[in-house]
A and B are shown apart, each in its own frame.
Chain A
Amino acid sequence: MTINEIQDEIIEEFELFDDWEGKYEYIIDLGKKLPKLSDEFKTDDNIIKGCQSIVWLHAYKQDGRIHFEADSEAIIVKGLVSMLVKVMTNHTPEEIANADLYFIDKIGLASHLAQTRSNGLASMVKQMKAYGIAYQANV
């Protein structure tokens, strides 16, 4: 699936929720289901530091595609991180660098991206794209 197809799928899933509780319970559940990032990748270099919760992002390239693994201390951020990983992982560096991530806005969670000081989410998107650009250059 393309990045946009995955985003559209997430948007569709979120259309099922008519209240905030259902939406956040689902995000929390995604956070709980996201496999724990192995301690060897929880390095200072992989930290995307927000003001309130730490996000770790580990990236590697395999068969021309970038793969992401991530984790966070806070469960809601972890759920959001899980969605970002789902959308962005296993794509080419070009696709990642040029991705237009509209799903966060569409599912009504844009405020989580705007609060750049509260969490590392906006920085995480930036960092994922930076990996896309870096791996493009370093073929």
Chain B
Amino acid sequence: MSILDINKIRKDFPILDEKINGRDLVYFDNAATSQKPLVVLEALSNYYGHYNANIHRGIHFLAEKATSAFEDSRTTIQKFLNAAHKEEIIFTYGTTDGINLVAQTYGRKFLKEGDEIIISTLEHHSNIVPWQMLCEEKGCVLRVIPIDDKGDLILEEYVKMLSEKTKFVSVVHVSNALGTINDIKFIIDNAHAVGAKVLIDGAQASSHITIDVQALDADFYAFSAHKLFGPTGMGVLYGKSDILNAMPPYRGGGEMIKEVTFEKTSYNELPYKFEAGTPNIADVVAVKFAIDYINDLGKENIAAYEDELLKYATEQLSEIGGLRIVGQAKEKVSVVSFVLDGVHPQDVGVILDQQGIAVRTGHHCTQPLMSRLGLPGTSRASFAVYNTTTEIDKLVAGIHKVKKMVL
């Protein structure tokens, strides 16, 4: 059993007391977004209620307090990722924003016609489309690492793809649709061997896996706060400082400048060069509380408990006749995607919702992956530390009801 007191943890998340269609909420859509603990809600309310001010240039008390809280978050995230320097932490609107930043700055400056960019079949649309846009503009070639039927990347094929033409590799750390954990260290090392830079899409990994960007030697690592108990609309792009320094700015505006005349503008230093305009101060301030919350529970403890949930759910769901789990990779986070014979995923989602159970159904913004698997979509239950085996039992009963009603 877990050393965490799950009942106590559940009390930290007020939304778990909600009734949905008259039933207790069973929230299994954590891969889409996680719920927020009280400490994060209070941090937002405290910021706005007690020290809301625009940051960095104000000399009054509130501006200094807000600036210091804002920069504290940067330090917390630096430690969270074990980044070498604080200025390597760029605040973005989310993972998608971070990937677009890299594609539009590094990509446009350093990639040219005929260069190859490698992604994988497991990618979310947000790690496909920005590279397609870049390829269209620059004439680069997009190559895709295939997967096997279990949902693991075929890394031998990846190694064969690499050549002196490979200039960039952008791969997901953990698949949002299947839960597959990729061997990103292997991917990074092999890309570096041919001189390519690597971005890791950490949207799904950041709440489950301990990340050490220096040990991984990742050039870029992007994630979103809202998947790790933090607020929406706030994300992080980590980049190695020498690469970030070589990149042109992304958006122009206030904060990112050193000096502006009508003839010429010189740009601010890292990280501000990439943070034009008034940033999302409240959400940046609050993310520190989310990360502190995770650190207090212990990421290893969270991962161990989520593994228990994954194992239990996999066993229980496998016993349902006509149910097939999609994605049986060697290493997985707590995500179970499944299809039910003769039932469209949307019908699964609607009937579970009537029973207060929130799962995600559809293609999970991974249409090329679904097409590779020959499926229109799946139903996906994804677990967080506040979920319980009792809730998984409710899901199982709920799926039996779906079968009874539809078939």
Q: Interface on A for B, CB 8 Å cutoff?
A: 20-21, 24-25, 28, 51-53, 73-77, 118-119
B233 within 8 A of A: no
A119 and B346 contacting across the interface, CB-CB below 8 Å = yes
Q: Any chain A CB within 8 A of the CB of B405?
A: yes
Evaluate contact between B354 and A24: CB separation under 8 angstroms: yes
Q: With an 8 A cutoff between CB atoms, is B406 at the interface?
A: yes
Given contacts A24-B354, A52-B363, A118-B346, 19 further A-B contacts (CB under 8 A): A21-B354, A24-B350, A25-B405, A28-B405, A51-B362, A52-B345, A52-B346, A52-B377, A53-B346, A73-B344, A75-B344, A75-B406, A76-B346, A76-B347, A76-B350, A76-B351, A77-B346, A118-B362, A119-B346
Residue contact A74 to B405, C-beta cutoff 8 Å: no
A25 CA to B376 CA, complexed, in Å: 24
Q: Does B21 contact A (CB under 8 A)?
A: yes
Interface residue B127 (Cβ < 8 Å from any Cβ of A):
no
Once the chains bind, are A74 and B346 in contact (CB under 8 Å)?
A: yes
Which listed residue (B346, B377, B405) contacts A24, Cβ 8 A? Answer: B405
| Complex: chain B residue closest to A53, CB-CB | B346
Q: B361 on the interface (CB 8 Å rule)?
A: yes
Candidate in B21, B345, B361, B405 with the most chain A CB atoms within 10 angstroms: B405
Q: 8 tightest A-B contacts by CB?
A: A74-B344, A74-B346, A52-B362, A52-B346, A53-B346, A20-B354, A76-B347, A74-B347
Docked Cα-Cα span, A111 to B352, in Å, equals 15
Asked whether A28 lies within 8 Å of B406 as measured between CB atoms, the reply is yes
Bound Cα distance A134, B405 (Å): 39
Closest residue on chain A to residue B350 by CB atoms = A76
Instruction: Write out the residue numbers on chain B whose beta carbons fall within 8 Å of the beta carbon of A52.
Output: 345-346, 349, 361-363, 377
Q: How far is the CA of A24 from the CA of B363 in the complex (A)?
A: 24
Q: Which residues of A contact B343 (CB under 8 A)?
A: 75
CA distance A24 to B362 in the complex (A): 20
> Can you pick out 12 interface pairs between chain A and chain B where the beta carbons lie within 8 Å of each other?
A21-B405, A24-B354, A28-B347, A28-B406, A51-B362, A52-B346, A52-B349, A52-B363, A53-B346, A53-B376, A73-B344, A77-B346
Q: Are A20 and B346 in contact (CB under 8 A)?
A: no
